[in-house]
Structure 1
Amino acid sequence: MASAVGSDVGGALGGRPLGIGRVGNGPVAGFLLCTAVVLALSLRMPAGTAVVGLAALGILHNVLELRYMAGRFEQVLHGPFLRLLAALISGIVLCRVLPAGTATRDGEILLAYGLLAAACVHALRQRPAVLAASCAVIVAAAAASLSFPDYHFVVLTHLHNVVPLLFLWEWSQQMRRGRRAFRAVQVGWVLVIPALILSGALDGVMGSGSAWTARLSVSYTPPAWQHGGTDQRFVTVFAFMALMHYLVWVWFMPRYAPDATAAFERRVPVLNARRAWALGLGAGAALAALFVSDYDQGTSVYAALASYHAYLEFPVLLMLVLGTGPRATTGGTA
């Protein structure tokens, strides 16, 4: 991991971060190693992995993911559309900092679906029939979320940790060789391992849990399963997926997606690689101190700050699915 940090910061200092044409077997080997280590930690210490991972890497991965999206998807995230998304997400941040209640909860849900609607309108304004069908799906989904808000937020929490699969899949389009192996590894840690944990197949090597595990289960377990003996599995899945998610943005993308970093620095030259890392590490240290002194306050602050990167993902990915994202040139056979 340290070499990955050095690669990105080194790019700002005149070094040469790895381009996609020279990745070799590094990404596959790196993900296999990360998966093994993170899975072992999550199975034995799910609450500790979740809490410490969030305190140590939460803010840093926010900063680096926003940098990646602003650079990689600069063709999409600009002008009035970007300002609209920023305004909607700022509304979500406001909902999260105000006292919790039905109004703020429903407001966040409606604004979240508003983001998706804005992305559909932006991408499909020349295809009215498809736009109408998409908006109908969004309205139906919003109605379901408003009817079952507790499920909405649990699903959203876990879905956020699945999102890196789509970014990694899109990144791998440019691989000259090894694309199938790379994608198989991503499917393994994003889908297969969580399914094994939830099925109970790994219960024999899972730790006994703790009071903290029970405390976290309220946020990460669907209400119907909170008292069925599966709550520890959901916390374990979250701990595993969250830490892997952080490593995608803190290790993988800075090392293997230098073009996105370069594009971001052209847009925001004042926030070069060194300053981006300094911002992420400094803000992360302040948040970690807040976690130690008042965990609940720390999670509230983080939830508000994390809204920008977490909610920006969905319109970006929707634009990709709708075929209006940046075009990647494939580099040869898989």
Structure 2
Amino acid sequence: MSTVALCAFVAAIGVALAPALQLPAATTVFGLACFGLLHNVTELRYVLGRFGGVLTGPLLTLLLTLCTGIVLCRTVPASELSRAAEICLAYGLLGLACRYGLRGPPVPLGGACAVLSLAAACSLANPAYHFVVLTHLHNLVPLLFLWEWSRQLARGRRLFRALQLFWVVVLPLLLLLGALDGLLAERSAETDRLSAAHSPPAWTDSPVALRFLTVFAFLQTMHYVVWVWFPPRCAPAATASFERRVPVLRGVRVWLLGLAGTVALAALFASDHATGKQLYAAVATYHAYLESRCC
């Protein structure tokens, strides 16, 4: 299994990197339209199956309540108030996760709360930077799940983990440092428009903005590869656990749900891209923040 997974990841890295370098805007937009909702469904299936013992009872209720608050913030017209409310709810969710995850001696919990308080203050003071950082951090989350999954490997664990670090850390750093600038596409009106949401505000008018967009396009594609391909084939126990918990979504039904959502989202993107992106951001709240609890 580890050999198959390694070969598949090597191939996926090459397939994801090529369009990200030459067509970063198209890769970002079409990737979201084609795999955004589908990966939400398959990721939630894995997370709820693998960590079903954690995501249950009052904790799950509180998490869903906070996530729903974030959804409401994302469905109303963007404003300073809605952004501040979303930031506060997000840090409240992280604080809740720390409260449940760091039971025992008070020092670790106190330290975590202090760090979260400082981070929240920075985010509220610089909301534009907060959302750019959040956008990129979300694409790095698969590393944590893959690292945890690899503990079961009797052989090849170090090589598997090294490969994950290569595509999650090394390649993005090389891109950001300009090592692959000779392979990047030329800037265009479309890349400049998308770069505004994926680059630190201070750099949106610099060549670095294109590097950030390219990094996002690459990591987003790999993010989809992980959640759409990896768990269904390499984590059958999580799938079985989810199906026992939610029997109505057994087998092919979960794929039909994801594909139906994909078709609907693609149609909305084609008719009104801005509305489609806003709707997706709201719907994706649940998978994005529930996975953060499990990390």
TM-score interval, normalised by the smaller of the two chains: over 0.9
SS at match of 1:270: helix
SS at match of 2:284: helix
SS at match of 2:169: helix
Structure 1 residue 88 corresponds to structure 2 residue 66: yes
- Cα distance in 2 between the residues matched to 1:104 and 1:157: 17
Structure 1 residue 283 corresponds to structure 2 residue 261: yes
Q: Which amino acid aligns with 1:67?
A: R
Structure 1 residue 121 corresponds to structure 2 residue 105: no
Cα distance, 1:119 vs. partner? 1.1
Cα distance, 1:24 vs. partner? 4.0
Match of 1:48 in 2: 26
Cα distance, 1:127 vs. partner? 2.1
Structure 1 residue 33 corresponds to structure 2 residue 33: no
Identity %: 57
Tell me if structure 2 keeps the 8 A contact 1:46–1:209.
no
Tell me if structure 2 keeps the 8 A contact 1:71–1:262.
yes
Describe how 1:1-334 pairs up with structure 2 within 5 A. 23-317=1-295
Aligned length: 295
Tell me if structure 2 keeps the 8 A contact 1:85–1:312.
yes
For residues 56-91 of structure 1, give each alpha carbon's deviation from its aligned partner in whole angstroms, at most 9, with x where no partner exists.
Answer: 000000011011000000111001101100000000
Q: Which amino acid aligns with 1:189?
A: W
Tell me if structure 2 keeps the 8 A contact 1:96–1:304.
yes
Q: Which amino acid aligns with 2:269?
A: F
- Cα distance in 1 between the residues matched to 2:215 and 2:109: 35
- Cα distance in 2 between the residues matched to 1:85 and 1:172: 27
Tell me if structure 2 keeps the 8 A contact 1:45–1:209.
no
- Cα distance in 1 between the residues matched to 2:2 and 2:98: 37
Cα distance, 1:177 vs. partner? 0.9
Cα distance, 1:313 vs. partner? 1.6
Q: Which amino acid aligns with 2:235?
A: A
SS at match of 1:173: helix
- Cα distance in 2 between the residues matched to 1:65 and 1:87: 20
Q: Which amino acid aligns with 1:259?
A: A
SS at match of 2:143: helix
- Cα distance in 1 between the residues matched to 2:140 and 2:129: 17
Cα distance, 1:135 vs. partner? 1.0
- Cα distance in 2 between the residues matched to 1:50 and 1:90: 26
- Cα distance in 1 between the residues matched to 2:102 and 2:26: 44
Q: Which amino acid aligns with 2:165?
A: V
Cα distance, 1:272 vs. partner? 0.9
Cα distance, 1:126 vs. partner? 2.6
Cα distance, 1:37 vs. partner? 1.2
For residues 129-186 of structure 1, give each alpha carbon's deviation from its aligned partner in whole angstroms, at most 9, with x where no partner exists.
Answer: 2212211111111001000100000000000001100000000000121111111110
TM-score between the two structures when normalised by the length of structure 1: 0.87
- Cα distance in 1 between the residues matched to 2:110 and 2:275: 42
Tell me if structure 2 keeps the 8 A contact 1:161–1:242.
yes
For residues 111-131 of structure 1, give each alpha carbon's deviation from its aligned partner in whole angstroms, at most 9, with x where no partner exists.
Answer: 000011111111234322221
Cα distance, 1:247 vs. partner? 0.7
Tell me if structure 2 keeps the 8 A contact 1:61–1:250.
yes
- Cα distance in 2 between the residues matched to 1:200 and 1:24: 32
TM-score between the two structures when normalised by the length of structure 2: 0.98
- Cα distance in 2 between the residues matched to 1:152 and 1:186: 25
Unpaired segments ≥5 residues, structure 1: 1-22, 318-334
Structure ranking higher in helix proportion: 2
SS at match of 1:285: helix
- Cα distance in 1 between the residues matched to 2:291 and 2:93: 10
Tell me if structure 1 keeps the 8 A contact 2:2–2:160.
no
